[in-house]
Amino acid sequence: MLNTTDILETIRMIDDENLDIRTITMGISLLDCADSDIHASCDKIYEKICRRAERLVPVGEEIERTYGIPIINKRISVTPISMLCAVSGGNPVEYAKVLEKAIGTVGVNFLGGYSALVHKGFSAGDRELINSIPEALAETEHVCSSVNVGSTKAGINMDAVAMMGGIIKRAAELTTDKNCMGAAKIVVLCNAPEDNPFMAGAFHGVGEPDCEINVGVSGPGVVRSALTRCPDGDLTEVADIIKKTAFKITRMGQLVGTAASKKLGVPFGIVDLSLAPTPAVGDSVAHIIEEMGIEVCGSHGTTAALALLNDAVKKGGVMASSHVGGLSGAFIPVSEDAGMIDAARSGDLSIEKLEAMTAVCSVGLDMIVIPGDTAPSTISAIIADEAAIGMVNSKTTAVRVIPAIGKHDGEELEFGGLFGSGPIMKLHNDRSSEKFISRGGRIPAPMQALKN
């Protein structure tokens, strides 16, 4: 039973602490849209997305009015498009264009799934789609792309890793006039989940139902505010406060997901209980870490504080929803987090420290702007390092870096909106990884893969 105190607390969280539902994402299978004629396949895709998602935005807005809960994004994820390329052949960019057309018709913010899953090797359609990513993202505004290059079970496909360094660099070059936004819409993953509602890594996995609703929550500001009321508690008390707060945040996500599922007549999938920050003041994961007692995010102790936060969020959130999935933890995207932006500007937060932090957080190196003259092989090596962390630790890791073409460390890219501002982070080691990356092949799966 809800009481007055609970209601007033939720209102305060929404009004003063930036609590919101970051996204309701409709996952749509496009497997039945495969056709040997790419134009026929595109027609089927447009029809199905428009039919399934016709009411997604209006229903989201209705839920916002009914419950007074802000829903920042309404999104779609689809079957990895490389699977359709395997059947149709042709230029994969045609698929990107029809996806953009469908986005315009149904009015969602982003669509994810211009993707390929190549963690153990390339099948038909994979190379073609990957090579088309820079052009596809340059010619569309709301389509997002992801490539899964590794898993704990399969190891790391280093041929794919080598490709992706050049793909990311090319995507940035083709969108130089748009603050290199093409690269900001690509993420390279290890152990990619099939039900992730967050962009740019969302796609609708082959094990998912034909259509479903997944919800991504937010709430770093709420967690930080709760900790301000316990300035002298020990870390056990801190963890307990975070757990209780995460429960309340996730409960709201469960409510929205269930309501959207009923109104749209599709199954409710999962709540992703990740703490997703924004550039808004008071909505920062970095500020939670600093509230625990770290002077500036990136200082010694940051990784331990983040580990506590990530674990407590999972423990609190998992009790609040019947189905938890996606990534679920704490995000540390540099350009999208006001505290991370400040720490990067001051030099207290380095890309090397961020890599260490990714061993204990929800995803990986996210929305990090790097110098525009960074070699593709260096980008590939960064991806390889991050994929290795994910593979060995049986967790999802990802890399979303943006080479700032024509710019150097100390300058910034201004993305605007949820993407925020990106201080260009210096890569302190400029030695070459070219020979290692050019070897190709596969890094074998670790012993942790042998669980049967």
What is the DSSP secondary-structure string of 169-227? Answer: HHHHHHTGGGTTHHHHTEEEEES--TT--SSSS----TTS-SEEEEEEE--HHHHHHHH
**What residues does CATH 3.20.70.20 cover in the chain?**
28-57+73-190, 215-447
Integer-rounded Cα radius of gyration of the chain: 21
| Distance in angstroms (rounded) separating the CA atoms of residues 193 and 180 | 27
- Ranges of the chain with pLDDT below 70: 1-18, 280-282, 418
Model pTM? 0.92
- Residues 145-173: pLDDT tens digits? 999 999 999 999 999 999 999 999 999 99
Q: Residue type for 125, please?
A: G
Q: Are 246 and 274 in contact (CB under 8 A)?
A: no
Q: What is the pLDDT of residue 13?
A: 61
Q: Are 115 and 30 in contact (CB under 8 A)?
A: no
Q: What is the pLDDT of residue 1?
A: 45
Q: What is the pLDDT of residue 319?
A: 84
Q: Please name the fold of domain 28-57+73-190.
A: Anaerobic Ribonucleotide-triphosphate Reductase Large Chain (3.20.70)
- Pick from 12, 83, 78, 89: nearest CA to 49: 78
Residue 231 structure tokens: 């300035």
Residue 306 structure tokens: 């983040």
Q: Are 69 and 14 in contact (CB under 8 A)?
A: yes
Q: Are 265 and 273 in contact (CB under 8 A)?
A: no
What architecture (CATH level 2) is domain 215-447? Alpha-Beta Barrel (3.20)
Q: What is the pLDDT of residue 14?
A: 62
| Strand extents, DSSP E, 240-374 | 268-272, 365-371
Q: What is the pLDDT of residue 167?
A: 98
Diameter over CA atoms, the chain: 66
Q: Are 336 and 369 in contact (CB under 8 A)?
A: no
Residue holding tokens 């229903």? Answer: 59
Beta-sheet pairing, 155-157 with 143-151: antiparallel
Residue holding tokens 């089927």? Answer: 44
- Pick from 143, 67, 66: nearest CA to 98: 143
